[in-house]
Structure 1
Amino acid sequence: MDITLTDYPAGAAVATDLVNTSPTVTEAGDGLPTPGSLAEFLAEHDVRLDAFADREPTGEDLFQVQLLRREVRGILETETEDQAVAGAHVLTRRAALGPVLRQDVDGRWQWHVPTAPGAPPADELAAFVGVGLLGVVRALGHDRFRACGAAGCRGVFADTSRAGRRRYCRPDRCGNRVNVANHRARVGGAVR
């Protein structure tokens, strides 16, 4: 896998969505219940792991990614910037090699972080997520790691939005629930 440093929002988005597949967050149980669901998750996020170039995910791959999910959550819940950076470094060291400079299709030099040949899938994914989280801390700050603002939700996320005002782990779900509840409260209060 070749991770481009300028694409840290993609790694942060995968970190957020991975953590929020946990059965402690989703209402419907584990969001990654099968090796096939792991393949779908990676495809939805356009993540191409070298380990899956010639094979499908296995039950062991899924188990290792589910363990990674816990590690990532721990990083998103850190209290300090130093703790977040240390945790993300642990993730990147699982498979990442030193950064290299390569030219992109337009001839511009870009930093890339390749992963070690033969690295296990969870380690490749850890490196991708780790680079993304390091990018968030560097470019946006540790305060962009947040807990979901929806009552009763245990989700966490890395806010990579320009304005930095994201409040929900899953805006389409948690945000909509809050908006609907607020609307009902306003309409119900006006009817009395």
Structure 2
Amino acid sequence: MKILFSHYAPGAGVATDLVNTSATVRTDIGEVLGGPDALTTFLAEREVRLDALPPGTAPTEDDLAEVLTLRQETRALLAAEDEDEVVEGANLLAARATSGLSLLRDADGRLQWYVTTAPGASVADELAALIGTGLLGVLRTLGHDRFRPCQSPTCTGLLVDTSKAGRRCYCIPNVCGNRLHVAKHRARQRGARQ
């Protein structure tokens, strides 16, 4: 797998999405990664193509178990209040499968820095490298204050805000944000009827 070193948003996005797949966050639907097929869907929806899963190869139950462990590790990093703890943990994640830094041409012929993963790396280790690289990029470019809890009072999700304005509030905007807006709208309607 080649991870574009200068583009941290995809890795940070996968980190955010992964930690918010657990039943403790998704109380409305339960565990999102309930089996290998769900992991396949998760990766496909985020356009994550892992060398560990060549086309036509599905993740195994063991792959899923390792990814669920990675989810716990990632959640601990996003929740960590100490920036140095996040740096150390993200470095460890990035190092799990990386084989080095390479200067390669992209599809447009421009030279770009890529982190490459080692041949034979597992699904979880390749994801760890993507997430670790993304988190390190956010820390370096945007700062630790971009790691935050969801602002919905009924949610325990976490997020890494890679938006330009830095104002993202919800871990899953179309769920948590909509839920809060609907509640506020209903409260206003009740107040207007009284």
Give, in angstroms, the shift of residue 97 of structure 1.
1.9
Counterpart-to-counterpart distance in 1, 2:82 and 2:101 = 25
Counterpart-to-counterpart distance in 2, 1:107 and 1:51 = 26
Give, in angstroms, the shift of residue 72 of structure 1.
0.4
Paired AA for residue 187 in structure 1: Q
Q: Match for residue 156 of structure 1?
A: 158
Q: Match for residue 53 of structure 1?
A: 54
CA RMSD of aligned residues (A): 1.0
Counterpart-to-counterpart distance in 2, 1:87 and 1:116 = 19
In percent, how many aligned pairs have the same letter?
A: 56
**Pair 1:22-2:22 in alignment:** yes
Give deviations 1:63-108, integer Å, cap 9, x for gaps.
0000000000011011122111111001011101221111223332
Q: Match for residue 173 of structure 1?
A: 175
Counterpart-to-counterpart distance in 2, 1:67 and 1:180 = 34
Paired AA for residue 92 in structure 1: A
* Unaligned ranges ≥5, structure 1: none
Q: Match for residue 103 of structure 1?
A: 105
Counterpart-to-counterpart distance in 1, 2:50 and 2:111 = 23
Give, in angstroms, the shift of residue 157 of structure 1.
0.6
Q: Match for residue 136 of structure 1?
A: 138
Q: Match for residue 89 of structure 1?
A: 91
* Unaligned ranges ≥5, structure 2: none
Aligned residue-pair number: 192
Give, in angstroms, the shift of residue 7 of structure 1.
2.3
Counterpart-to-counterpart distance in 1, 2:179 and 2:97 = 39
Residue range with higher mean Cα deviation, 180-189 or 118-127: 180-189
Give deviations 1:88-138, integer Å, cap 9, x for gaps.
001011101221111223332211000000001100010001101111111
Counterpart-to-counterpart distance in 2, 1:53 and 1:105 = 20
Counterpart-to-counterpart distance in 2, 1:32 and 1:53 = 20
Counterpart-to-counterpart distance in 1, 2:154 and 2:88 = 29
Instruction: Give the alignment's TM-score, normalised by structure 1.
Output: 0.97
Q: Match for residue 123 of structure 2?
A: 121
Counterpart-to-counterpart distance in 2, 1:124 and 1:107 = 25
**Pair 1:64-2:34 in alignment:** no
